[in-house]
């Protein structure tokens, strides 16, 4: 999984390097795709969930711009100065998966959007620091949610992180917030050897989202910007280890 994570990190680093005003989201998708395939990685998103050609998600990566939260489809949309674009990449290498996402500013972005990106990254950092064996996930998620909401932003509650290993989506579900339903039916204790894709999704405005007619792209209902960041993280005997940070 560390090997897969290195390739994902390299692909997203290339996305950060190349993303610029005037580029289409499809061109950015190609940068990521070429990077991970040249390293022997197999993409996990194209035609998900059936992997039948022509059925499922049509992009190699999820590329979501501004009010698009997640699952944006790469296409002819041209990035412009002031945009923020999240790039989500998942691959399989040697039978194991790596999944990570970043949100990239294009040119000069508004101060409140700069804060949105910072708080989203800090929220993931909180999870990395707080993960340790024997701890309930709800205790970690509570700290993540508090950081988001104490800074005036909203957590997306329709989509959550997930276990990951030989398949991209495995149990358990890994939310970035706490709900009564999760406490009753989904909460779990962290154990050494668990590998989790933790992915805070944060909105500048309220938490309501809708899915567009393409059946994939999730946007904020109030049209405010969103940010998304993600790492694949292993629970170790003493804490956590990030597997998609390039080490």
Give the start-to-end residue ranges of the domains of the chain.
2-242
Q: How would you class 170 by CB atoms within 10 Å of its CB: exposed for 0-12, middle for 13-18, buried for 19 or more?
A: middle
**Is-contact 100 12, C-beta < 8 A?**
yes
- How is domain 2-242 classified at the CATH fold level? Creatine Amidinohydrolase (3.90.230)
Taking only Cα atoms into account, the Rg of the chain, rounded to an integer number of angstroms, comes to: 17
Can you tell me the distance from the alpha carbon of 235 to that of 148, in angstroms, rounded to the nearest whole number?
Answer: 23
Can you tell me the distance from the alpha carbon of 35 to that of 24, in angstroms, rounded to the nearest whole number?
Answer: 17
- The model's pTM: 0.96
Rounded alpha-carbon distances, angstroms, from residue 228 to 58, 84, 101, 176, 202: 20, 10, 7, 12, 6
Can you tell me the distance from the alpha carbon of 210 to that of 156, in angstroms, rounded to the nearest whole number?
Answer: 11
- Reported as a pLDDT band with limits 50, 70 and 90, residue 134 is very high
Can you tell me the distance from the alpha carbon of 210 to that of 38, in angstroms, rounded to the nearest whole number?
Answer: 35
Residues present in the chain in total: 247
Query: What's the confidence (pLDDT) of residue 29?
Result: 98
Query: What's the confidence (pLDDT) of residue 8?
Result: 98
Can you tell me the distance from the alpha carbon of 221 to that of 82, in angstroms, rounded to the nearest whole number?
Answer: 20
Mean pLDDT of the chain: 98
| pLDDT, average across residues 146-154 | 98
Tell which phi-psi region holds residue 245, choosing left (phi > 0), alpha (psi between -120 and 50) or beta.
alpha
Which contiguous run of DSSP H or E holds residue 125? helix 111-130
Query: What's the confidence (pLDDT) of residue 42?
Result: 98
Residue 64 token pair = 């979501």
Query: What's the confidence (pLDDT) of residue 57?
Result: 98
| pLDDT, average across residues 203-227 | 98
């Amino acid at each position: 999984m560390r090997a897969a994570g290195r390739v994902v990190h390299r692909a997203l680093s290339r996305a950060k390097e190349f993303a610029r005003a005037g580029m289409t989201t499809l061109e950015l998708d190609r940068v990521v795709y070429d990077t991970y395939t040249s390293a022997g990685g197999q993409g996990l998103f194209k035609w998900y969930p059936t992997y039948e050609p022509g059925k499922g998600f049509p992009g190699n990566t999820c590329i979501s711009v501004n009010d698009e939260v997640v699952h944006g489809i790469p296409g002819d949309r041209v990035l412009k100065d002031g945009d923020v674009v999240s790039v989500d990449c998942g691959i399989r290498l040697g039978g194991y998966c790596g999944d990570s996402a970043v949100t990239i500013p294009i040119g000069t972005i508004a101060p409140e959007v700069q804060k949105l990106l910072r708080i989203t990254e800090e929220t993931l950092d909180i999870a990395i620091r707080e993960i340790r064996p024997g701890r309930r996930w709800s205790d970690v998620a509570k700290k993540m949610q508090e950081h988001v909401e104490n800074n005036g932003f909203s957590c997306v509650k329709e989509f959550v992180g997930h276990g990951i290993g030989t398949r991209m989506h495995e149990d358990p579900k890994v939310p970035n917030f706490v709900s009564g339903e999760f406490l009753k039916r989904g909460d779990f204790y962290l154990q050494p050897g668990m590998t989790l894709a933790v992915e805070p999704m944060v909105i500048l405005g309220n938490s309501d989202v809708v899915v567009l007619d393409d059946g994939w792209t999730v946007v904020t209902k109030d049209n405010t910007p969103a940010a998304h960041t993600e790492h694949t993280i292993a629970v170790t005997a003493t804490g956590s280890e990030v597997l998609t940070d390039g080490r």
